[in-house]
Amino acid sequence: MGKTAFLFPGQASQYPGMGRELLEKFEAAQRVFEQADRALGFSITQLCLEGPEDELKQTANTQPAILTVSVAALRVLEERTVRADYVAGHSLGEYSALVAAGALEFADAVQLVRKRGQYMQEAVPPGVGAMAAILGLAPALVEEICRKAADGQVVAPANLNSPEQTVISGHAEAVKRAVELASQSGAKRAVILPVSAPFHCELMLPAQKRLEAELEQIPFHDLRIPLVCNVDADVIQSAEEARRALVRQVSLPVRWEESVRELIARGVDTFIEVGPGRVLSGLLRQIDRSVQSLNVEDEASLTTTLAKVRAARAS
C-alpha cells in the first residue's frame, strides 16, 4: 500500500446540517463541538447544524464552522486507527491540517480562524473586491489575462486549484475585466463568485498584518506529520515554518494543484478529504485520476472509507 494524505477543505464547503451525524453518533466528535462552543463563547454547533445559511456564509462564522466539523471528522477517524503520512489543507483548511499534525491546539485554532475571518472581511469595504472562477484555461494564460486586466488595479490568481480551474481575486472592476477577457480567450466558464471579500491577493495585506500579531501570541509545536503548505507547495515540519506559512497565505495564492502533485511525488496514492463537502475530491479528479479519493463527513462516508482503507491494507 502506498502512502495516505488527509486533505482538509476550505471556505465554500459549508452547508447547514454539516457534522450532524458525527455529533449524534460519535463521542469523539461531540467533544470537539463542545470544545469549539467553549472556546468561541457562542454555539458554533447550532450554526453548523441549523444555519441559517446566510449567517453560516459570513466569513467570520464559516471559518470556525468548517474547522470544527473537519476536526470532529478527524478525531473519529483517528479513533479507528486511520493515520496520515502527510496532511494538507486548502486555505482555511491548513489550520485543520496543523491541528491534525499536532502543531496547533484545536481551541487556539478555532479562535484564530474566527479572527482571521473577521480581519479578511474588514480588510476591504463591501463591493470593492471580488473573486471569479476561470474554468478551462491554462493557469499561465489566466495569469497573463490578469496582467492585462489590472489597468492600475489589483487582480491576480488566488487559487491555482487544478489544470482546469483557477480562481482570481482583486478589485471588483479589474476582476470583471479579467472575466470578460477570459471568456473572449475561450474559457469554458468565467463567473464571479458569491464571496464577501477578495481573498489571497495583496488587498488582504491589512488582514495579514492583524493576523500576524495574533499568530505571534499562540504557541506552535513542531509537526508530528509533515504538511505540504499552500504558499510554497512544499513540506514543512517546524513550528516556526507553520506560523510563517499561515501569515503568508493570507495575501498569497493557494498553490493547490502543485501541493497535490508534490504529495503524489512523495508516494501518496490515497487521499482522504476530512470535513464537509467533496470540493477537494472534485479537484483531485481534475489533477490525477489514478489516485484513490475518499472522504469522511458523515457515517456513510466514514463506513465506506474505513472499508476501502482496510481492504487496501489487507491486499
Catalytic residues: 91, 200
Place of cell 477578495: 198
The total of other beta-carbon atoms located within 10 Å of residue 7's CB is 33
Q: How far apart are CA 167 and CA 199, in angstroms?
A: 10
* Burial tier of 84 (Cβ tally within 10 Å: 0-12, 13-18, 19+): buried
Q: CA–CA separation, 89 vs 308, rounded Å?
A: 22
Task: Give the phi and the psi of residue 69 in degrees, each rounded to 5.
Answer: -65, -40
Burial 174-210 (b: 16+ CB within 10 A, else e): bbebbbebbeebebeebeeeebbbbbbbebbeebbeb
CB-based burial of residue 315 (10 Å sphere; 0-12 exposed, 13-18 middle, 19+ buried)?
exposed
Measure the CA dihedral 171/173/174/175, to 10°.
80
Phi, psi of 293 (to 5 degrees): -120, 120
